[in-house]
Structure 1
């Protein structure tokens, strides 16, 4: 590993920020009954439709989430995972973890030996152990999105599933314009798209070129899948949809079987909680990295120093408490723990969508769903239209690691939604940003309840830390132009052993934050200008 140094030229070229899509009218406005933000206008339009049909805050969030699986197949899918928080009007907060497990027949030793697609055979200290393959059938775990939708609906939904999913079904059947982000993602992963028959049939035109922005994206097989889910969500795990998915995965070389799908259950549980100034924050427990967010928010030291410590702890300590011991005190920075230099997973580019919604009665939803990398595993099962995630690539192959790949284990998860409250104020936050989500949200969380203009807050320059997740070889701090206290951050980074570089402008890798809130001034919502998103107060 090279010695960290301040050298912007050491970073590879980074994608310039696209121009933000126009916000829907009502963004960051007060009034109405529900405030919602999502990274694509189709999500907000779907939420508007179900609210007009009598839906509440949960229905609005679910309608938006379903629509995004159609409009944003590079970022989320019913073939991905979901983590969410729900706050009821009486103040009770619950977490929904619907992260799918690895196959019971997973051959971990074959992965370690390098014969099943891992990057190199196992030798030497932890940093030299093999990594999971970045994509392909061995990285597909049981998709949790659909079970997560059902669990969230059970906590506060008003409408039957067929009415909540109707906008998404119509989008898939009738078509939605290819957005700039999808067109760019297709070009960026063109080799992967062309290598998979399902993705190439969807995204490559008759000319052999990728569909351009504005072209109609029609997905009849996905429409049929969504209709089956709307009629009975269990069909995704035990019915005809499950049978087709399992058969398609088997042909591709996946060890997942019908029993793995049938055994999936969303977990509804107590969230983690922390106090930061006047705010109380809730986050999802492991295997989510919610503990890392709370560690940063509640730290008494500087934000960057806390983020670096939380990052190291997460990489060494995060795993699935169902299949091993997870040191929650260590993750929360409440106990000293030695951490190893462990291998990191693939860069989760374009991995995630967040939907945030708050109602006038104080109920709130923050929901994140993901395929991990752009187009996940790089596989679309043609008979169902389902893009399959690569969440399994986040497993460790180091023996004894809490996130070690094991049959039936859930991988460590980047998804990190948050809800905050203070003296009657309610805030829902979520973002795209992969492994950087805790420090992206932490830079917004301190001001989100009091900021007069949420859009201006979300546009404020930010910084991120990471390595391979930012496309760089060494641990680095990367700043957007105009970051507050840039000089102090640079000095602190060098003291922490981080290289320092800059993005050329506001940048996707600094996250797409979605925010909705209820304060004494009323309801408000905003979508990060780094995204294609929209916000609305209904």
Structure 2
């Protein structure tokens, strides 16, 4: 009997070990990709993913699903996004076999001037309150995308979120955590506590959250179109509220808003074309980093090694100094994009990198002339794919919560510079530098991957790490997102302020890097620290033309889910 018990116990232990072990051979935790044939949705919230998937099943396009999921995330993840923020997207259109880019960023108030800031003693635009508020471009972006690529009526696209807003849904653990961090900072602003707390507190994990005000706003948009937001009662409510708080955003600023279709920009990295949107966003920085890193043979440089991280960080330093100098609203300052993307320029910048010593200070080059976000991606039965990113910027945004509307206005204007002569210097009616960037990869002119990674300055750094994980280190989509990440902090910011680089800046390493790598980086002169959390949130959908299947991935750093049918 005792012997039988021991055999059973041994068998159970063996089965448990087999069930718990992954067979991928990776040293970090990961899980399987999601694979489907008809459609795929990957977002940072499971309920939003299911809403997008339901839209696809009802015959909606990838754009319909993306709008539906984005609307849901504005309700379910208000700590990151909402209709008070901006939007950028890259769309693969299967019919024309072409990528289309959309810049849905809003402009600064026309009545607010640089002189006003100087006269009132400002050296930087504050992160909260009415002054950093720019026109929210998300709703206009929805209708621009829908008008070109949508199939279902907008009322059907927004209906699931309207229903959830009225009936309520349980708040997830991670969102509850960030919500609780925001309440003490934003509770002082009129309209916030009334609309975004339960008896003065953030909703806890599992508590049911309802937002009937947002339901009414979305209902008005569904009935009246984008003009219901920019030229109707909603616009007047926003303008009156901002004026009462001492701000400058006006009804005319909202009524005159328009986003823009733009041509995506790209570089070829080892046979794959990586696509981003041009400035005023920072996608160009990811392409510049890839151009620099292409000069190294990573088949001989192990993933996570000191050499791997060192080269990545040094490339980032070089690209980000160019970012600070050149990236801005192209209507006010034309960045030399062709020169910045030149392989010759990359080779010139690469020469500044020492294999053994971290750079302590970096200057922008001379190219030849020529917080806190959601990312989602969708793909439909016709082969269309959408890469979409949307944000309020710093967490829940400015704290400006117009009465009865159920959303918070963004604080993107904080990123303007208040110094004369800078490309990103504040001006009336100007779009600020933007951190949010969608991405796409094509191979031989066909879609290969729609992906993105949220998180401020982490975004171009994250894009590069995903590309390298897939192409240099041959990871699958899920592994590429789950692999441990690094982030370098300490570069000149787009507002012209030099962030203290601590004699070369900080290298933040996520758990999962070997101690030998940490020691190796320190020997090269890097200041290494552990930081819990600034590594973004990733979703991706890949297309396999040989099997005609979509592959989806969503990492575990957020509440995300990829799902297909």
Q: What range is the shorter-chain TM-score in?
A: 0.7 to 0.9
Pair 1:502 & 2:559 matched: no
Are the structure 2 counterparts of residues 80 and 494 from structure 1 closer, same or farther at C-alpha, using a change threshold of 3 Å? farther
Pair 1:444 & 2:456 matched: no
Specify the alignment match of 1:483 in structure 2: 513
Please say if residues 86 and 366 of structure 1, whose CA atoms lie closer than 8 Å, have aligned partners that are also in contact: yes
Specify the alignment match of 1:370 in structure 2: 391
Please say if residues 359 and 523 of structure 1, whose CA atoms lie closer than 8 Å, have aligned partners that are also in contact: no
Please say if residues 490 and 506 of structure 2, whose CA atoms lie closer than 8 Å, have aligned partners that are also in contact: yes
Specify the alignment match of 1:18 in structure 2: none
Distance in 1, Cα, partners of 2:514 & 2:437: 24
Distance in 1, Cα, partners of 2:291 & 2:66: 28
SS in 2 for 1:235: helix
SS in 2 for 1:222: helix
Pair 1:92 & 2:119 matched: no
- Of 433, 440, 449, which aligns to 1:412? 433
Deviations 1:409-445 (A, max 9, x none): 1000001111101144520111111112111111111
Are the structure 2 counterparts of residues 262 and 490 from structure 1 closer, same or farther at C-alpha, using a change threshold of 3 Å? farther
Pair 1:328 & 2:334 matched: no
Are the structure 2 counterparts of residues 435 and 401 from structure 1 closer, same or farther at C-alpha, using a change threshold of 3 Å? same
Specify the alignment match of 1:402 in structure 2: 423
- Of 163, 178, 188, which aligns to 1:170? 163
Specify the alignment match of 1:184 in structure 2: 177
Are the structure 2 counterparts of residues 483 and 211 from structure 1 closer, same or farther at C-alpha, using a change threshold of 3 Å? same
Distance in 2, Cα, partners of 1:493 & 1:239: 61
Specify the alignment match of 1:462 in structure 2: 485
Distance in 2, Cα, partners of 1:103 & 1:425: 39
Specify the alignment match of 1:76 in structure 2: 81
Residue 132 (structure 1) shift: 1.4
Distance in 2, Cα, partners of 1:144 & 1:316: 25
Bigger mean CA offset, 155-164 vs 294-303: 294-303
Bigger mean CA offset, 486-495 vs 450-459: 486-495
Residue 518 (structure 1) shift: 0.6
SS in 2 for 1:483: coil
Distance in 1, Cα, partners of 2:251 & 2:399: 21
Residue 154 (structure 1) shift: 2.4
Distance in 2, Cα, partners of 1:38 & 1:260: 31
Specify the alignment match of 1:223 in structure 2: 215
Are the structure 2 counterparts of residues 185 and 98 from structure 1 closer, same or farther at C-alpha, using a change threshold of 3 Å? same
| Unaligned segments of structure 1, at least 5 residues | 1-25, 119-129, 342-347
Pair 1:54 & 2:59 matched: yes
Please say if residues 317 and 362 of structure 2, whose CA atoms lie closer than 8 Å, have aligned partners that are also in contact: no
Alignment of 1:128-527 (within 5 A): 130-206=123-199, 208-231=200-223, 232-299=225-292, 300-301=294-295, 302-329=311-338, 331-332=340-341, 335=345, 348=371, 351-359=372-380, 361-423=382-444, 424-448=446-470, 453-467=476-490, 474=502, 475-483=505-513, 487=517, 491=521, 494=524, 498-503=526-531, 507-519=532-544, 520-521=546-547, 522-527=549-554
Please say if residues 293 and 438 of structure 1, whose CA atoms lie closer than 8 Å, have aligned partners that are also in contact: yes
Residue 108 (structure 1) shift: 1.6
Are the structure 2 counterparts of residues 486 and 354 from structure 1 closer, same or farther at C-alpha, using a change threshold of 3 Å? farther
Residue 216 (structure 1) shift: 1.6
Pair 1:101 & 2:128 matched: no
Deviations 1:32-80 (A, max 9, x none): 2112210011210110221222112111111111100000111001000
Q: Number of residue pairs matched?
A: 485
Please say if residues 27 and 534 of structure 1, whose CA atoms lie closer than 8 Å, have aligned partners that are also in contact: no
SS in 2 for 1:380: coil
Distance in 2, Cα, partners of 1:154 & 1:365: 15
SS in 2 for 1:139: coil
Residue 357 (structure 1) shift: 1.8
Distance in 1, Cα, partners of 2:540 & 2:442: 13
Task: Give the alignment's TM-score, normalised by structure 2.
Answer: 0.80
Distance in 1, Cα, partners of 2:101 & 2:336: 19
Residue 279 (structure 1) shift: 0.7
Specify the alignment match of 1:5 in structure 2: none
Task: Give the alignment's TM-score, normalised by structure 1.
Answer: 0.84
Are the structure 2 counterparts of residues 34 and 133 from structure 1 closer, same or farther at C-alpha, using a change threshold of 3 Å? same
Residue 403 (structure 1) shift: 0.7
| Unaligned segments of structure 2, at least 5 residues | 1-30, 296-310, 350-360, 365-370, 494-498
SS in 1 for 2:205: coil
Distance in 2, Cα, partners of 1:147 & 1:380: 19
Please say if residues 34 and 562 of structure 2, whose CA atoms lie closer than 8 Å, have aligned partners that are also in contact: no
Q: CA RMSD in A?
A: 2.6
Distance in 2, Cα, partners of 1:137 & 1:340: 34
Please say if residues 27 and 536 of structure 1, whose CA atoms lie closer than 8 Å, have aligned partners that are also in contact: no
Distance in 2, Cα, partners of 1:34 & 1:272: 26
Distance in 2, Cα, partners of 1:407 & 1:82: 20
